Amino acid sequence: MAVVALAKSLTPTVEAGIARLGVPKAVVGIVIAAVVLLPELLAALRAARANRLQTSLNLALGSILAAIGLTIPAVALVSIVLGQPLELGLHEKDQVLLTLTLIVSVITLGTGRTTVLQGIVHLVIFAVFLFFAAVP
């Protein structure tokens, strides 16, 4: 909860810095999401360094699932209650990246074994996402 409060207090500063750099406003959301997910990310990295892959995956997937899996339904519920249309703001390239991520995730996690190559593919997809967020 303290991390969310920190992220909320950092938002104006991040927005000003993003505006000064001249990058799209979507980068603000990425920076704030990174701040919120930072504690779990650090714990997952620490577990991975200690060769505890299952713990690392549980931390990473659990935090992402909690952040995204609970936020989207909450926003959808509020939009239904208020009678407002819900738009996730996914353009065509974002939809392609999301679909690609889901397919690669099913392949990676569905086999029961994960390889370094699969991890690199995930990192490349993430790098492409960050690139398109900063350079639309």
| Predicted TM-score of the model (pTM) | 0.67
List, in order, residues 6 or more apart from 85 with CB less than 8 Å away.
79
Does residue 60 contact residue 46 with C-beta atoms inside 8 Å?
no
Q: Residues 27-58: pLDDT tens digits?
A: 888 888 888 888 888 888 899 899 988 888 88
Domain boundaries, the chain: 1-88, 89-136
CA distances from 103 to 2, 88, 118 (A): 34, 20, 12
* Tens-place pLDDT, residues 74-121: 888 888 999 988 877 778 888 899 899 889 988 888 887 888 898 899
Q: Running DSSP on this structure, what letter comes out for residue 30?
A: H
- From the CB of residue 102, how many other CB atoms can be counted at a distance below 10 Å? 10
Query: Are the beta carbons of 32 and 7 closer than 8 angstroms?
Result: yes
